[in-house]
Chain A
Amino acid sequence: GAVVSQHPSWVICKSGTSVKIECRSLDFQATTMFWYRQFPKQSLMLMATSNEGSKATYEQGVEKDKFLINHASLTLSTLTVTSAHPEDSSFYICSAAGLAGLNTGELFFGEGSRLTVL
């Protein structure tokens, strides 16, 4: 299957700093990328949908100024957690779909990025 890469895989930061997580589709053009958040032993919660070249669509309850999403190219989307606080500590996972994938429902997931805010 297609490969989606996330970086960094883990990051520790101090409270108040901002952290950027990258999601790259390595061998296909991802017209749409999705960002999820997962707390320990819980399910994935969709945070936002990003389409290349346009503003992200955020799910209800997700602060768009807190979680900045940029999808500037067909192979890269970034999630920036601004002014991070300990409650933002979580596992963030991205998934990507090309045009064909949006029709078939086939998404490819990154390996996730674990954020720990001290």
Chain B
Amino acid sequence: SQQGEEDPQALSIQEGENATMNCSYKTSINNLQWYRQNSGRGLVHLILIRSNEREKHSGRLRVTLDTSKKSSSLLITASRAADTASYFCATAPPNDYKLSFGAGTTVTVRA
């Protein structure tokens, strides 16, 4: 069943601005992952954050995790037109590797 819920559903920003999207989940997790999907394509793994981590960086991406609030955020800094895509969070429960995906946030970066 789908566990993650994301907001906003859609986001439109100007190139160079930052984009922030949030993900909330319902049950305990082993890790939380963020993926990007370009229209009609497969998923690209962006970053994985474990339940005992609070923040993680990868290039222009910053992910936070608050297990007490069961929420995570993805920040894309200095956005580019190429960042236009849908972004999904996915959670893996303890002792399991099956991912449950959120509804996704569609990000449009205007040149």
The chain A residues found within 8 Å of chain B, CB to CB, are: 1, 4, 6, 32, 34, 36, 41-46, 49, 91, 93, 95, 97, 101-102, 104-112, 114
Residue picked from A34, A44, A49, A91, most chain B C-beta under 10 Å: A44
A-B pair count, CB < 8 Å, reads 58
Give chain B's interface residue range (CB within 8 Å of chain A): 20 to 34
Secondary structure dominating the interface of A:
strand
CB A57 to nearest CB in B, in angstroms, measures 9
Question: Could you say which of A1, A107, A111, A112 contacts B99, with CB atoms under 8 Å apart?
Answer: A107
**Nearest residue, chain A, Cβ from B43:** A109
Give the contacts of B35-57 with A (CB-CB under 8 A): 35, 40-45, 48
Asked whether, in the complex, the Cβ of A43 is within 8 Å of the Cβ of B43, the reply is: no
Cross-interface CB contact of A105 among B40, B44, B48, cutoff 8 Å: B48
